[in-house]
Chains A and B, each alone.
Chain A
């Protein structure tokens, strides 16, 4: 009997509000240590939290996007624990009554099917600061800039059955929050992080096995690695006749293994209770309706439209919709050139290749949507051949500029002029009498060779269609 893994994720999403969740301090990333922490973030005596309205709206937006119930009354609780980068000695979070209730998202499962992953809840809370232990000898440095950054913690049911699906789910949530413009989705800056709850059971079992929690995973690759190594560890323990202990574990990226952080027995009592500084959060029907009306097109809806209206195939449409920036880029190119299929092909085969090689995101592409749109237009009107178009693309990538001017400066226009072409065609025919003979004897394959020679002579600028016609005319085929 084989083992089945059961996984649930808790994803922390930093919300893109202008200010912190309970203070007016700047909520942007980075800056000199402690330069973005006001008295409220510092937990000075006497100061009080005031809830950021836009964080609430973003949470509602997310809830509506996953078809969840928005709890019209939710409560902020204090989660009490001592740590130097937690200034108040408690984190303001939502415990029993979160703002977002049950919802679901659909992922493209590893099994090849679409799988629905249930989301238990999503709640608002504040982020803690950062402790750095290797900056000063025997001392810990604390940066409280991150303190009070609004977080939406999205908790899934244990509906995931493989590490790969877990990573796919994480990516799906990333896509979604970027679509909703509530998070930049930048894992390298910690804008999204997750904890994974992992257990295994025999494939025919109905009960779940004891689970462990892997804390603070900050990349898609590590999600997969950490969960796989934990599954492997659990299999080894159980097959050796051992027992899985409920505990919190950390993933060691270097050794590719998880190790115990604290056991359940040593687990902390957070002494949750409603924060008396904040009243229950009440959300009106009007606000929900208002946010619902302004909800942007979601990834699945966009994909469907690309297939239906733009006649893209399922694969290309899916690929373009994976990333809101790519999808928007695509739509801008189409707007410029009116050729969705060509735009999709150019984006996926040329632009994405470049972007992936240079590891930049599409928004930093040196070629703008209007440049690419113009290139496609010039292919369409026969100014460019696919070869010259690639030369132009390469040139624009290295040095962005006006495509039409570049065509001129590089002399990339197709040679359409029959008399100019005739000269070259005659020259090639003269040089290749053997092949001409074969062609005349009905070996039509040779035609391609001759066209190729002419293209070579003209550095790819000849219009292949015209060349074809000319050869046929001259040789009276």
Chain B
């Protein structure tokens, strides 16, 4: 079933009746049962729901009413609320929480006929770059179980890499789709802010959070994304963006994807092994007619501190609703209101979440607001302007996705500052609200390396197109860890 692990592959087998969605789903569930003990990529499964949806999908296929996703199992990051399964957000706080609604992303994919395979492990409230802050334990990288899968969508990436799901959803606030995709040898798309609804997606930093797909290749990612996007009246920050369809399916625009100018930003520290991989991708793309130029992004170095101020500030108030009053974890026998708040939140949240709530609360306090929050917002505008300036001259920007390949478990747990540096290439993209994709572009010590393409807003089509081109002539994306076979 080696060639069945992509969306495109499964779609073909389903269409020609070679296999049913029920069989595929059962097969994945069986594999999860036997192999996920080592990976720990799933938090919750519901066989009955999955099989039920697969049976409905099989009927739709039989009736000829299938979409490109009908019958395809999908693993969802446990940040998307689901009626049929608990939604924990990787936290003790929500260990037993079942939402009375589906996130818009969930209902859109369900309406397209996709099968909900289960809910994947993640850093607690999406705060982390290694998936080690999860209350449900760390996730292991299928390429090397002593390494992290990246985070915060680590469970989604590990599940796809381990062949426990053909594709998955993730969310990306500062790199949480792209970094785990990179660490696990996958393709991860972080769309333009606002193109995919945030309704029912548990908020970490509302002005940065964005949902997207994690898949084996760009073609799959493009398919998933096309079903996820769209204006949602339930999300005031969502935008109608149908451009993606027009661009890819209208051949008249094909020239848009040819002879691209790709910018290479001069950034202080690029480690040698990643440089090598980038030179390789550069060579391949030059062979395809694209050209490379050096560009400046002068304020990029300030993106990590401003990101952590803004994200923590928003998180500190987004997470105020977890107070033990209406839902979620509540401490035992509170003595009074203050005690209920203090113990519920002290016991229900993990260390990293508490650290960011404290940081954010501080940044928003009277006397510090201007110095931190407002200043960070100014830096954010400067970074967005840097990109605008760059996109006047180039179609795309190429960077490594991460400073290194996947690091060992516990290597950075006690060093939050170094952990935050993991996001240096990904964070600026969120600050500017732009789309970016991470694709596998090489290996070092048998661990995958990721390259990141960044495009101007609403140019997901460019990202998918250039990635597909690269993947047509390379096979990094087709490799799977030996343990997954």
Q: A residues engaging B (CB < 8 A)? A: 39, 42-51, 78, 80, 82, 84, 87-90, 140, 142, 269, 271, 273, 276-279
Complex CA–CA separation, A247 to B382 (angstroms): 42
Contact between chains at A279 and B237 (CB < 8 Å):
yes
Given contacts A82-B341, A271-B364, A278 and B236 within 8 Å (CB-CB): yes
Contact between chains at A50 and B233 (CB < 8 Å):
yes
Contact between chains at A46 and B199 (CB < 8 Å):
yes
Task: With CB as the reference atom, state the residue of chain A lying closest to B360.
Answer: A271
Given contacts A82-B341, A84-B337, A44 and B317 within 8 Å (CB-CB): no
Minimum-distance CB pairs A-B, first 9? A89-B320, A276-B207, A276-B206, A271-B364, A43-B321, A46-B200, A45-B202, A46-B202, A46-B81
Complex CA–CA separation, A80 to B360 (angstroms): 12
Complex CA–CA separation, A78 to B313 (angstroms): 11
Number of interface residues of B (CB under 8 A): 44
Q: Give the Cβ gap from A316 to chain B, nearest Cβ, in Å.
A: 50
Cβ of B235 within 8 Å of any chain A Cβ, yes or no, is yes
Segment touching A, from B36-44, B93-101, B284-292:
B93-101
- Residues of chain A within 8 A of B101, CB atoms compared: 39, 44, 47
Cβ of B392 within 8 Å of any chain A Cβ, yes or no, is no
Q: Give the Cβ gap from A336 to chain B, nearest Cβ, in Å.
A: 47
Contact between chains at B313 and A273 (CB < 8 Å):
yes
Selected contact of B364 from candidates A39, A48, A80, A87, CB within 8 Å: A80
Task: With CB as the reference atom, state the residue of chain A lying closest to B94.
Answer: A45
Selected contact of B327 from candidates A44, A271, A273, CB within 8 Å: A44
Cβ of B65 within 8 Å of any chain A Cβ, yes or no, is no
Cβ of B325 within 8 Å of any chain A Cβ, yes or no, is yes
Task: Name 24 interchain pairs, CB-CB below 8 A, sorted by A.
Answer: A39-B100, A42-B327, A45-B89, A45-B202, A45-B203, A46-B79, A46-B198, A46-B201, A47-B200, A48-B198, A48-B235, A82-B320, A82-B323, A87-B321, A88-B320, A88-B321, A89-B317, A89-B320, A89-B323, A140-B337, A273-B317, A276-B205, A279-B236, A279-B237
Complex CA–CA separation, A87 to B324 (angstroms): 10
Task: With CB as the reference atom, state the residue of chain B lying closest to A42.
Answer: B326
Q: Output the residue of B79, B326, B337 with the most chain A CB within 10 A.
A: B326
- Residues of chain B within 8 A of A78, CB atoms compared: 317
Cβ of B366 within 8 Å of any chain A Cβ, yes or no, is yes
Task: With CB as the reference atom, state the residue of chain B lying closest to A51.
Answer: B236
What 1/0 mask marks residues of chain B from 81 to 103 whose CB sits below 8 Å from any chain A CB? 10000010100001001011101
Contact between chains at A271 and B361 (CB < 8 Å):
yes
Task: With CB as the reference atom, state the residue of chain B lying closest to A88.
Answer: B321
Cβ of B483 within 8 Å of any chain A Cβ, yes or no, is no
Task: With CB as the reference atom, state the residue of chain A lying closest to B125.
Answer: A45
Cβ of B456 within 8 Å of any chain A Cβ, yes or no, is no
Complex CA–CA separation, A398 to B100 (angstroms): 52
Cβ of B220 within 8 Å of any chain A Cβ, yes or no, is no
- Residues of chain B within 8 A of A276, CB atoms compared: 205-207, 237, 314
Q: Give the Cβ gap from B309 to chain A, nearest Cβ, in Å.
A: 11
Cβ of B458 within 8 Å of any chain A Cβ, yes or no, is no
Complex CA–CA separation, A84 to B337 (angstroms): 8
Complex CA–CA separation, A215 to B341 (angstroms): 25
Complex CA–CA separation, A44 to B237 (angstroms): 19
Contact between chains at A46 and B364 (CB < 8 Å):
no
Cβ of B234 within 8 Å of any chain A Cβ, yes or no, is yes
Task: With CB as the reference atom, state the residue of chain B lying closest to A37.
Answer: B326
Given contacts A45-B94, A48-B234, A269-B366, A84 and B199 within 8 Å (CB-CB): no
Complex CA–CA separation, A364 to B81 (angstroms): 48
Q: Output the residue of A42, A82, A278 with the most chain B CB within 10 A.
A: A82
Contact between chains at A273 and B364 (CB < 8 Å):
yes
Task: With CB as the reference atom, state the residue of chain A lying closest to B203.
Answer: A46
Residues 421-479 (chain B) with a chain A CB within 8 angstroms:
none
- Residues of chain B within 8 A of A271, CB atoms compared: 316-317, 361, 364-366, 369
Complex CA–CA separation, A269 to B89 (angstroms): 29
- Residues of chain B within 8 A of A50, CB atoms compared: 233-236
Contact between chains at B321 and A45 (CB < 8 Å):
yes
Selected contact of B236 from candidates A44, A46, A49, A142, CB within 8 Å: A49
Contact between chains at B99 and A45 (CB < 8 Å):
yes
Cβ of B225 within 8 Å of any chain A Cβ, yes or no, is no
Q: Give the Cβ gap from B389 to chain A, nearest Cβ, in Å.
A: 25
Task: With CB as the reference atom, state the residue of chain A lying closest to B232.
Answer: A48
Cβ of B143 within 8 Å of any chain A Cβ, yes or no, is no
Residues 197-251 (chain B) with a chain A CB within 8 angstroms:
198-203, 205-207, 233-237
- Residues of chain A within 8 A of B322, CB atoms compared: 45
What 1/0 mask marks residues of chain B from 349 to 392 whose CB sits below 8 Å from any chain A CB? 00000000000010011100100010000000000000000000
Contact between chains at B369 and A273 (CB < 8 Å):
yes
What 1/0 mask marks residues of chain B from 18 to 59 whose CB sits below 8 Å from any chain A CB? 000000000000000000000000000000000000000000
Complex CA–CA separation, A278 to B101 (angstroms): 21
Q: Give the Cβ gap from A437 to chain B, nearest Cβ, in Å.
A: 91
Complex CA–CA separation, A42 to B361 (angstroms): 23
Contact between chains at A277 and B325 (CB < 8 Å):
no
- Residues of chain B within 8 A of A278, CB atoms compared: 236-237
Q: Give the Cβ gap from B145 to chain A, nearest Cβ, in Å.
A: 31
Q: Give the Cβ gap from B314 to chain A, nearest Cβ, in Å.
A: 6
Q: Give the Cβ gap from A75 to chain B, nearest Cβ, in Å.
A: 13
Q: Output the residue of A42, A46, A269, A271 with the most chain B CB within 10 A.
A: A46
Q: Give the Cβ gap from A407 to chain B, nearest Cβ, in Å.
A: 59
Complex CA–CA separation, A88 to B236 (angstroms): 18
- Residues of chain B within 8 A of A42, CB atoms compared: 326-327
Q: Output the residue of B97, B236, B314 with the most chain A CB within 10 A.
A: B236
- Residues of chain B within 8 A of A89, CB atoms compared: 317, 320-321, 323
- Residues of chain B within 8 A of A45, CB atoms compared: 81, 87, 89, 94, 97, 99, 202-203, 321-322, 327
Extra pairs beyond A82-B341, A273-B364 (6, CB < 8 Å):
A44-B321, A45-B81, A47-B200, A82-B323, A273-B313, A279-B236
- Residues of chain B within 8 A of A39, CB atoms compared: 99-101
Complex CA–CA separation, A277 to B238 (angstroms): 10
Given contacts A45-B89, A80-B320, A90-B320, A142 and B325 within 8 Å (CB-CB): yes
Task: With CB as the reference atom, state the residue of chain B lying closest to A90.
Answer: B317
Contact between chains at A277 and B237 (CB < 8 Å):
yes
Task: With CB as the reference atom, state the residue of chain B lying closest to A267.
Answer: B366
Complex CA–CA separation, A25 to B200 (angstroms): 17
Complex CA–CA separation, A44 to B200 (angstroms): 9
Contact between chains at B81 and A87 (CB < 8 Å):
no
- Residues of chain A within 8 A of B81, CB atoms compared: 45-46
Complex CA–CA separation, A146 to B106 (angstroms): 30
Q: Give the Cβ gap from A95 to chain B, nearest Cβ, in Å.
A: 12
- Residues of chain B within 8 A of A87, CB atoms compared: 321, 325-326
Q: Give the Cβ gap from A276 to chain B, nearest Cβ, in Å.
A: 4
- Residues of chain B within 8 A of A82, CB atoms compared: 320, 323, 341
Contact between chains at A48 and B317 (CB < 8 Å):
no
Given contacts A269-B366, A273-B364, A46 and B321 within 8 Å (CB-CB): no
Task: With CB as the reference atom, state the residue of chain B lying closest to A85.
Answer: B325
Contact between chains at B364 and A84 (CB < 8 Å):
no
